């Protein structure tokens, strides 16, 4: 039986890097060049309706290139990495069978590893009782609790994401810590292309993109999501843009505070992304402007 998870001969391209580095545009450009299709590796782009805030590619930005694992889940319910891995692996298998090149694109490092390597996940079932207790704690209290349980996991987690903090505490409480994966094995013949910029330039891009998203109606998008039944609590748990949008729409913070806090949070997130991806020594790093070098690398890889 064909196993898409251990197919070391099939060639796959992965476009990774911090937020606002230009991954989506590059993935589309490469897909058009090599007859490829894009598989999203963004944890929040899987949700229906989270478009502007997540930077989900529009139809015009896709330029006719098929994109997979977008809008596959309701934002009211959490989609696990296990569910994502199954859908993404199925998409990769389908793309390969049709003789096209899968191009994995996204900044959620855990999701990239989930579909391209043998990374495993702790089999700890949710504990409703523990979660009910933890949900009463503040973000700061959750982080302190995780630090006491597992300081290693606390160092690389999104310290402002209550959902991830609670899950990490849940696992650490059950197992004693959040287990480190054994050295993952590559499942495919993958070309990893990483995009990065100097910190100042990336900060400028983050700011410019945030302003652009506000002009495109990011606040109205969040308001519509709430009107359609997405609770404020759930919206905040989705992190980054939606956390601060929810706070602003509930009049907990001003618009100026929202933009300031959000920009800081996105910068911090971009640093964590780079820390995650820098662990992968197979990634070849480029400046986003080095398109000719990138395309040459792609052509040589697919020969």
Is 239 within any annotated ligand binding site? Answer: no
23 has binding-site annotation: yes
CB atoms within 10 A of CB 300: 9
Kindly give, in sequence order, each residue whose CB lies less than 8 Å from that of residue 201, ignoring residues fewer than 6 positions away: none
CA–CA distance, 38 with 30 (Å, rounded to integer): 10
Give, as one character, the DSSP assignment of residue 18.
S
Helical packing angle, 199-215 and 218-227, nearest 10°: 60
Cα–Cα distance between 265 and 186 in angstroms, integer? Answer: 32
Q: Known binder of ligand: residue 89?
A: no
> Of 202, 272, 261, which is closest to residue 236 (Cα–Cα)?
261
Distance CA 288, CA 284 (A): 12
Q: How many CA atoms lie within 13 A of 111 on its CB side?
A: 27
> Tokens 């697919």 label which residue?
302
Which strands make up the sheet holding 283-286, listed edge to edge? 67-68, 36-40, 101-105, 7-16, 188-195, 283-286
Any binding-site annotation on 24?
yes
Is residue 20 a known part of a binding site?
Answer: yes
The count of residues in the chain is 303
Q: Please answer whether residues 53 and 222 qualify as being in contact, where contact means their C-beta atoms are separated by less than 8 angstroms.
A: yes
Torsion angles phi and psi, residue 195, rounded to 5? -110, 135
Residue 176 CB partners (closer than 8 Å, separation 6+):
none
18 annotated binding-site participant: yes
In 3D space, the residue among 11, 241, 171, 4 whose CA is nearest the CA of residue 103 turns out to be: 11
Say whether 37 sits in a helix, a strand or coil.
Answer: strand
**What residues are designated binding site for ATP?**
17-24
**What residues are designated binding site?**
17-24
**What residues are designated binding site for substrate?**
19-24
């Amino acid at each position: 039986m064909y196993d898409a998870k251990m197919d070391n001969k099939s060639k796959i391209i992965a476009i990774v890097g911090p937020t606002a580095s230009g991954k989506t545009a590059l993935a589309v450009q490469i897909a058009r060049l090599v007859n490829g299709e894009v598989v999203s590796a963004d944890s929040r782009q899987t949700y229906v309706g989270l478009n502007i805030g997540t930077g989900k590619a529009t139809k015009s930005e896709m330029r006719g290139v098929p994109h997979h694992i977008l809008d596959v889940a309701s934002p009211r319910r959490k989609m696990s990495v296990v569910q994502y891995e199954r859908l993404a692996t199925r998409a990769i298998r389908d793309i390969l069978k049709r003789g096209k090149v899968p191009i994995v694109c996204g900044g959620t490092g855990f999701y990239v590893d989930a579909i391209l390597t043998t990374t495993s996940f702790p089999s700890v079932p949710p504990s409703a009782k523990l979660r009910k207790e933890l949900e009463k704690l503040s973000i700061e209290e959750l982080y302190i609790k995780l630090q006491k349980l597992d300081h290693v996991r606390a160092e690389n987690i999104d310290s402002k994401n209550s959902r991830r903090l609670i899950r990490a505490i849940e696992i650490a409480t059950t197992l004693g810590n959040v287990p480190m994966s054994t050295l993952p094995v590559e499942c495919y013949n993958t070309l990893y292309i990483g995009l990065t910029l100097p910190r100042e330039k990336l900060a400028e891009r983050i700011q410019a993109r945030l302003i652009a998203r506000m002009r495109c109606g990011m606040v109205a998008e969040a308001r519509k999501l709430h009107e359609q039944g997405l609770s404020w609590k759930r919206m905040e748990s989705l992190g980054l843009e939606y956390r601060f949008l929810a706070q602003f729409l509930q009049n907990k913070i001003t618009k100026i505070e929202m933009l300031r806090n959000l920009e800081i949070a996105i910068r911090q997130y971009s640093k964590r992304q780079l820390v995650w991806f820098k662990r992968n020594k197979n990634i070849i790093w480029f400046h986003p402007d080095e398109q000719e070098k990138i395309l040459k690398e792609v052509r040589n890889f697919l020969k």
